Amino acid sequence: MNNPTNLIKKITCVISVFTTTCVLMLAMPINAMQSQQLDRDQWLKARFGTQHEKLIPIVAVADMYFSCQQQKAPDESLTIKGLITEVDKNTLAEQLMECLDGASPKSDIALNYGLSGCFHEQLADLPIADREQKMQLVGKAIASLSRAERQKSFTQCVTDQAINYLQ
């Protein structure tokens, strides 16, 4: 005969198995979604990784040249997008070297030009007055950051830009 203690143990066991089964069933779709996202990310990297890696230096040079050129001879028709999509990469590199007037593309001045160019493109959709105000803040921030911090910021900015050009 079943005593009440055994009956309680059986009911507890059934409830425990039922609860575990429910939790597993609920977790499966989440794991499947995470797996699909990982598969998508891997596919994107496999599909566009090479293009992205090739585009990054072009975007960096375009940012540097744009800011350098704008400082020396402002030209409203010059755009970073145009430099990236319409100018041959070798021509763009030559133009940058000419604009830098002997400074290395790895110099602090080139890095600062690159950061300014990258932020200019990020702020391009703002009204002119707002963009100019924010660019003044960017200039102050650039002046206050260490080279390592500026390099990290430029790398991240260029990477984001390159991703946007691939979309």
pLDDT tens column, 20-41: 554 555 555 555 555 665 565 5
Return the closest-CA partner of residue 60 out of 42, 84, 87, 95.
Answer: 84
Q: What is the pLDDT of residues 92-133, one digit of tens each?
A: 999 999 999 999 999 999 999 999 999 999 898 899 999 999
**59 contacts 158 by C-beta, under 8 angstroms:** yes
Q: What is the pLDDT of residues 56-76, one digit of tens each?
A: 999 999 999 999 999 999 888
Q: How many Å apart are CA 140 and CA 31, to the nearest integer?
A: 46
Q: In the 3-class helix/strand/coil scheme, how is 115-154 assigned residue by residue?
A: HHHHHHHHCCCCCHHHHHHHHHHHHHHHHHCCHHHHHHHH
Q: What is the pLDDT of residues 120-130, one digit of tens each?
A: 998 988 999 99
**55 contacts 92 by C-beta, under 8 angstroms:** no
Q: What is the pLDDT of residues 49-61, one digit of tens each?
A: 777 688 899 999 9
Residue type, 50: T
Q: b vs e for 85-108, b when ≥16 Cβ sit within 10 Å of the residue's Cβ? A: eebeeeebbebbbebbeeeebeee
Q: What is the value of pTM for the model shown?
A: 0.71
